[in-house]
Amino acid sequence: MKISAFILFLFLISRLGNATQLLVPMDDTQTNHLKAYGVSFWALENGVVIEWLLNYKGGSFLYPHLATLEEELNIRGVKYQVLTDGQVNQIKNQIADPEVNMEVIQLEKAPKVAVYTPPGTQPWDDAVTMVLEYAEIPYDKIYDSAIVMGVLPKYDWLHLHHEDFTGQYGKFYASFRNYPWYREQQAMAERDAKMLGFNKVSKMKLAVALNLKNFVVGGGFLFTMCSGTDSFDIALSADETDICEYMFDGDGADPNAQSKLDYSKTFAFNDFRLVMDPMVYEYSDIDGTDLHRMGVVTEETDLFTLFEFSAKWDVVPTMLTQCHTDEVKGFMGQTTDFKKSMIKHNVLILGENKALGTAKYIHGEFGQGTWTFYGGHDPEDYEHRVGDPHTDLNLHPNSPGYRLILNNILFQLQKRRKERRSMKWIVNDENELKYVVPRLLEFIPKMGVVLLEGQMGAGKTTLIRNILSLLTVDDFQGSPTYSIVHEYLSKDCHPIYHFDLYRLDSHEELASIGFEEYIYNNSLSLIEWPEKSLKFLPENRIWVYIRVNEENQRIIEIKNDN
């Protein structure tokens, strides 16, 4: 509930004469990371503007020095420091340095939060509801009937409970079909479907999934974990076929269901194959759970690594990956993580299991909204099983895995501004280019001129190879050092020209190969060493600068001359 104007007045009065602010560090010195998010949410709910210092001491929070806020921090056991305005200015000057990977983000409004969860007690826990309650962040519970009846526009942020949107009751049939809880859930779902006018549970779940999709299209933020990730995308792709066997919906599945999947309708995944056997506890081959059982990793060595983004340029993924450690303990679930080969090229990977080659934590945009998928069930229970006791978060107040969930709660939708004319990324090795190139391509037109500038060995040709690969060019010929140009066709049959002008002696030599005919041929031209070609080029060109820093990282910056 909003505080009254009188209480807000007292807030402000309590700060008069106080040239100080409250810093909540989020590095290893913090006593309770999870409740720190709760205090931040509480402040926003009560009309207090706060700041998130991305990458500063683990992603610290900065509050005005209000007596009520300080009291709340003490009550919840959250560590903080009282800083003078001079000390705060020193921190902000450090963050403002363009060579420092930090940024200050102002947070002004708490989102209205809902959790999609069935009524009653489930025989498993739900990580999001547990951490929301532990952090004391308020939320509403909604389920199928509320969503079908149109309640979603009331909310900004929605979490999907451990759920099956395909109508196969979680694929629990083989192990739990005779358990009372399973029969009760099936009966309840069938009752709800009938009440809402659907002849099958799978049809009701599809209607729910489509409402969720429209929620994101309209600007909402969707966060889901475990089986709520892949089953959601599978349901969207299978909206024109029947993938449920008779024990789930009373009739057999369409034998041609696989060929009728439409991957263009999904958020994150494509080219996956369904697992339609009702006796197999799996929806498709998206999930990487089996890879965790092959002996490559153990519970102790199962880790996923958070990707480092440029805080000043890639604000949203930087917010979502704030943590006090780069490596986070892995944890399993019905859907543990995602095979990279089935992730769409425009999806951003936030965290990956390098040992297994899987993605744990991914993010993307759809319509006007955004979504995040997080594999696994419980970040502090490695292999949570049906019937296991719930995790006590009092024992895990600094959990990195749970902290990532709360990053998504505080995440304020930062629309990419259309007028932005430049972006910058920090890349540690070539493997990380596969995450950067999809973002890079968002700024590169299908037809235009891209100029790549960087010292010898900076990685211009390597970057072009990765760009062409994402454009489905599979016959990369290397750098055209001697031939000057190599020609390719994109998947849309648009011509792509790769120029290397390093050995060019004169403008005349460039003119002699018909350079302008290439450039003005409704094509995409990628040009290394472009200095001698500038007089021939249009004004609306894209520059990509690659710089190597002292740590041998590549700083990739893209700018638009137009």
CATH number at residue 532: 3.40.50.300
177 and 326 share one domain: yes
373 and 350 share one domain: yes
SS3 per residue for 19-70: CEEEEECCCCCCCCHHHHHHHHHHHHHCCCCEEEEECCCCCEEEEECCHHHH
Q: Is 546 left (phi over 0), alpha (psi -120 to 50) or beta?
A: beta
**Residue 443 CA: distances (Å) to CA of 123, 160, 423, 460:** 47, 32, 9, 17
State the Cα–Cα distance between residues 245 and 492, nearest whole angstrom. 38
73 and 198 share one domain: no
322 and 462 share one domain: no
294 residue type, one letter: M
Strand partners, 559: 422, 543
100 and 119 share one domain: no
Is the Cβ–Cβ distance between 439 and 422 less than 8 Å? no
Token pair recorded at residue 98: 């363009």
173 and 136 share one domain: yes
194 and 228 share one domain: yes
Single pTM value for the model: 0.74
Residue 230's domain spans which residues?
A: 113-410
- Flag whether 416 is in a domain: no
398 and 486 share one domain: no
Sign (positive or negative) of CA dihedral 451, 453, 456, 457: negative
Sign (positive or negative) of CA dihedral 506, 507, 512, 518: positive
Structural domains of the chain, count: 3
- Residues sharing a CB contact under 8 Å with residue 394, sequence separation 6 or more, in sequence order: 134
CATH number for the domain harbouring residue 46: 3.30.70.790
Q: Are strands 157-160 and 113-116 parallel, antiparallel or unpaired?
A: parallel
Can you give the pLDDT of all 562 residues of the chain as single tens digits? 444 444 454 454 444 445 799 999 999 999 999 999 999 999 999 999 999 999 999 999 999 999 999 999 999 999 999 999 999 999 999 999 988 999 999 998 899 999 999 887 665 678 999 999 999 999 999 999 999 988 998 899 999 877 899 999 999 999 999 999 999 999 999 999 999 999 999 999 999 999 999 999 888 999 999 999 999 999 999 999 999 999 999 999 999 999 999 999 999 999 999 999 999 999 999 999 999 999 899 999 999 999 998 898 888 999 999 999 999 999 999 999 999 999 998 899 999 999 999 999 999 998 878 999 999 999 999 998 887 888 999 999 999 999 999 999 987 544 333 334 567 778 888 877 776 787 777 777 777 899 999 999 999 999 999 899 888 788 888 888 888 999 998 776 788 999 999 988 777 888 888 888 888 877 899 999 998 888 888 877 889 999 998 888 889 988 876 5
- Flag whether 93 is in a domain: yes
First to last CA, the chain: 48
Is the Cβ–Cβ distance between 478 and 461 less than 8 Å? yes
- Boundary of a domain, candidates 80, 107, 134: 107
- Flag whether 524 is in a domain: yes
396 and 288 share one domain: yes
Q: Are strands 157-160 and 221-225 parallel, antiparallel or unpaired?
A: parallel
Query: What kind and span of H or E run contains 406?
Result: helix 400-410
The dihedral formed by the CA atoms of 184, 186, 188 and 192, expressed in degrees to the nearest 10: 180
Query: Phi and psi for 361 in degrees, rounded to 5?
Result: -145, 115
Geometric angle at alpha carbon 327, from 325 and 330, rounded to 5°: 125
- Residues sharing a CB contact under 8 Å with residue 440, sequence separation 6 or more, in sequence order: 423, 425, 467, 544, 556, 558
- Flag whether 65 is in a domain: yes
202 and 61 share one domain: no
Is the Cβ–Cβ distance between 34 and 131 less than 8 Å? yes
CATH number for the domain harbouring residue 217: 3.40.50.880
Strand partners, 453: 545
- Of the candidates 410, 416, 404, 427, the one whose C-alpha atom is nearest the C-alpha of residue 307 is 427
